[in-house]
Amino acid sequence: MILSLDLHSAADRSALAKRAATPEKPSLIGLSRVELAETLVAAGIVPERQARMRAQQLWHWLYVRGVPAFSEMFNISKELRSALEERFSISRPEIVEEQVSSDGTRKWLFRFPPRGAGRPVEIETVYIPEEGRGTLCISSQVGCTLTCSFCHTGTQKLVRNLTAEEILAQLLAARDRLGDFPDRDTPDGAIVPAEGRKVSNIVMMGMGEPLYNFENVKKALLIASDGDGLSLSKRRITLSTSGVVPEILRAGEEIGVMLAISLHATNDDLRDLLVPINRKYPLKELIAACRAYPGLSNARRITFEYVMLKDVNDSFADAKALVRLLRGIPAKINLIPFNPWPGSNYQCSDWETIERFADFINGAGYASPIRTPRGRDILAACGQLKSESERMKKTDRLALEAMMIAGHGA
């Protein structure tokens, strides 16, 4: 049964909407420290000699305490706070919808104000709580230029790249809603220890291809991993790519987070069909880029994602080919049961087939966890994210529910 809870009341919703960014005021979120200092000086709010100190002060409020309003920055003078308020915004995106799955997974539909002449955009972000950790699945684009044939997001055209601010705002807004800035009001505003955090990990596995929005993703992830701010270890941040080969090396050198590759096939003929970017960057080039990924080691393995599609890529021969292809690369293979959506032409492999596949890969020395589908009842699983304009009609939702009951979804 589909459980769809709208968490907040009308009053709650209107309070959140009031906090939503006003389009005409530029946001201070997503700027590097240097840019933040320069912005304050250029606005004539802060003299040059104070710029670094003020930028540092703001940084602390924005990313350690996570306050969503200048008025809460109590060690900054009233005059400066109102000058900041007048010129800039640090508000969160509007939360159009918040859903909670029966398994505790949460999904938000966030709305961002227009950029320039554009229209407001909506994207989805998913929080997956697990024993000992919580992972936030962040979107990098509205829609996607790529058209992987098993992915629902791939049926939606690219609307635009998200800005660094919008990428970070997903983390800040999720932490707000989860109560994950508990030290917001304490006098010393201590950094939350990594173990105590609700969001302990982030994965760039939401909507979009992060390496086609390189600069903004880089900026956002460098801020998310800044040790004096949000302070997420780069070992706890994973960037997933369908295989934008020229940017993989750069991602390793300039961002330095963990890498995941959406592999899904072990030969070019099949990968051309499933992940069409393969026609541009075939397997040989992709695997070579993986071997050259900076910092690659047993402690920093690459995750290879492999969606299990019935009678398409799930044979014993496929498992053997997979092991052969990855030989010598420190790797973990993540088997993802296919998540169905109405109109998709695939079925998920049978559970026994997935287990046999996993056992074989395991026997060859690779960790091969089967990704437990999470949040299926709220369409929060991999490849099911879409924006509001493209959300499912009720009839489609019912069709999907019937598919899941019939067991196609594993």
Does 259 bind ligand SAH (CB under 6 A)? Our answer is no
Contacts with ligand SF4 in 144-173 (CB under 6 A)?
144, 146-148, 151, 153-154
Active site residue 124: yes
Do 199 and 171 touch, CB atoms closer than 8 A? yes
Instruction: Give the count of residues interacting with ligand SAH (CB under 6 A).
Output: 17
Strand-pairing partners, residue 100, are: 106
The one segment of 50-58, 117-125, 336-344, 358-366 that binds ligand SAH by CB under 6 A: 336-344
Cβ atoms of 187 and 154 within 8 Å: the answer is no
Q: Report the DSSP pairing between strands 160-161 and 141-142.
A: antiparallel
Q: Which stretch binds ligand SAH (CB under 6 A): 163-171, 202-210, 291-299, 355-363?
A: 202-210
- Write down the catalytic residue from 124, 165, 247, 305: 124
Name which of ligand SF4, ligand SAH, none residue 200 binds, using a CB cut-off of 5 to 8 Å depending on partner kind.
none
Distance CA 88, CA 22 (A): 9
> 367 pairs with which residues across the strands?
332
Cα separation, 120 vs 107, whole angstroms: 19
At residue 191, φ and ψ (nearest 5 deg) are -75, 135
User: Quick one: which segment of 159-167, 186-194, 240-248, 317-325 binds ligand SAH (CB under 6 A)?
Assistant: 240-248
CB of 181 or CB of 306, closer to ligand SAH:
306
Q: Is 370 helix (H, G, I), strand (E, B) or coil?
A: strand
Shortest reach from residue 209's CB to ligand SAH, in Å: 4
The rounded distance, in Å, linking the Cα atoms of 386 and 123 is 7
Q: Whole-number minimum distance, CB 265 to ligand SF4, in Å? A: 13
Q: Which does 205 bind (CB under 5 to 8 A by kind): ligand SAH, ligand SF4, none?
A: ligand SAH
Site string (91-130) toward ligand SAH, x via CB under 6 A? ----------------------------------------
Neighbouring-strand partners of residue 95:
110
Among 328, 107, 112, residue whose Cα is nearest residue 216:
112
Q: Which one-letter DSSP state was computed for residue 44?
A: T
Q: Which is nearer to ligand SF4, 337 or 383 (CB)?
A: 383
Q: Is 170 in the site for ligand SAH (CB under 6 A)?
A: no
Binding mask 359-388 toward ligand SF4 (x if CB under 6 A, else -) reads ------------------------x-----
Q: How many residues line the site for ligand SF4 (CB under 6 A)?
A: 12
In the 8-state DSSP scheme, what is residue 68?
Answer: S
CA angle at 394 for the pair 146 and 337, rounded to the nearest 5°: 50
Q: Can you read off the two tokens belonging to residue 338?
A: 């296919």
Active site residues: 124, 382
Q: Which residues bind ligand SF4 (CB under 6 A)?
A: 144, 146-148, 151, 153-154, 208-209, 242, 262, 383
